Structure 1
Amino acid sequence: MKRLLALMAALLITLPAMAANADPALKKQVDAFVDSWHDDAAHARMAYFDKMAPDGVYIGTDRSELWQRDAFKAWARKYFEGKKSAWSFKATRRNVYTSGDGKLIWFDELLDTANMGHCMASGVIRKTDKGFEILHYQLSMAVPNEVADQVTELVRKAEATPGSAIH
């Protein structure tokens, strides 16, 4: 985890100088890879987790949802095993960027989801000799500014509820 955090800090410092829109051929490959990853979840295929790096991190919408790949896989198993679908994310827009050497790729995407409505996500992908692997993925619910105060108040109330699992 420390190694990944150090990598992310280094990326934040150096990526603006290195960032470039991915060339169309690479963007097409990344789109196919990420769409395939989302499709694995939509069809409850455990291959979903194979597309994540062993040291990959997934951050969900709940503040308790920060997992390394194997812990995420263990948590999510109940949504995959014996199911037709775990969750369904369909990208409606995706921007793809790359480092100068093309080995690190990052993206942001707008998603339509079956159970949470519109969401946003960002991810970091590493290109290896074997293909792509997801290093980091962060999902967030897209809350319209017009209702943000209402959502914030609901969260405050939930956090203040005695015995709440929210910490």
Structure 2
Amino acid sequence: MRIDRLFLFLTLSTLLATAPLRAADESAAANAVAAVLDDFHDAADKGDKARYLGHFTEDGVFLGTDDWERWPLPVFRDYVGKRFRDGKGWSYRAVERHVRVAADGETAWFDEIVESPKWGRFRGTGVLLRRGDQWKVAHYALSFLIPNAVGEEVSRLAQAAERQATPE
């Protein structure tokens, strides 16, 4: 009985002693992910193709706001090359961000609200994977934020646009 209590005490002590370390590691990883996302957006703003695309995993995917915009990295490279040709891409600045890191420290996911001077507010969501000592974007999805108060009107406009774009 005494050995069981001692084992329980040692196990709990170890868990309690290492919990702050895990929290600190997760916080450091979340900060590193946030820094990558900030640089990702800065590279796009400056039209820096190499830096922007360098943030993706080799099999990364970017999902744009239109339903057909699923860009695997090889195809996205061409699109970004054309868009960044004049040294300017697109401008998004994060105004809110939430990052979580998996217990193994190798995967992170996030959601953020970003603002564009031209288009307003969007939600970006995605997954980053740790590759060596770097975090890389495996998946980024960008969505328009539509206030519920105008959702029905926006939905009607979107449906009308889809009908015009789709031959019957």
Normalising by structure 2, report the TM-score: 0.80
Count of residues in Structure 1 that have an aligned counterpart in Structure 2:
145
Q: Secondary structure at the match of 1:62?
A: coil
Match of 1:145 among 145, 148, 158: 148
Residue pair 1:103, 1:126 contacting (<8 A) in 2 also: yes
Contact 2:26 2:105 in 1 (8 A): no
Cα deviation, residue 68, structure 1: 0.7
Q: Does 1:115 align with 2:118?
A: yes
Structure 1 position 72 matched with structure 2 position 82: no
User: Which of 85, 90, 102 in structure 2 is aligned with 1:87?
Assistant: 90
Note the C-alpha offset of 1:114. Answer: 2.2
CA displacement at 1:115 relative to structure 2 = 2.2
Letter in 2 for 1:26: A
- Larger Rg over CA atoms: 2
- 1 or 2, which has the higher helix percentage? 2
What are the equivalent positions in structure 2 for 1:20-99 lying under 5 Å apart?
23-46=26-49, 47-83=51-87, 85-99=88-102
Structure 1, unaligned stretches of length 5 or more?
1-19
Structure 2, unmatched stretches of 5+, are 1-22
The amino acid that maps onto 2:43 is D
Structure 2 distance, partners of 1:22, 1:81, is 39
TM-score, normalising length: structure 1: 0.81
Partner of 1:156: 159
Task: Give the root-mean-square deviation of aligned CA atoms.
Answer: 2.1
- Distance in 2, Cα, partners of 1:131 & 1:67: 22
- The percentage of counterpart residues that share the same residue type is 31
Secondary structure of 2:65's partner?
coil
CA apart distance, 1:160 = 1.6
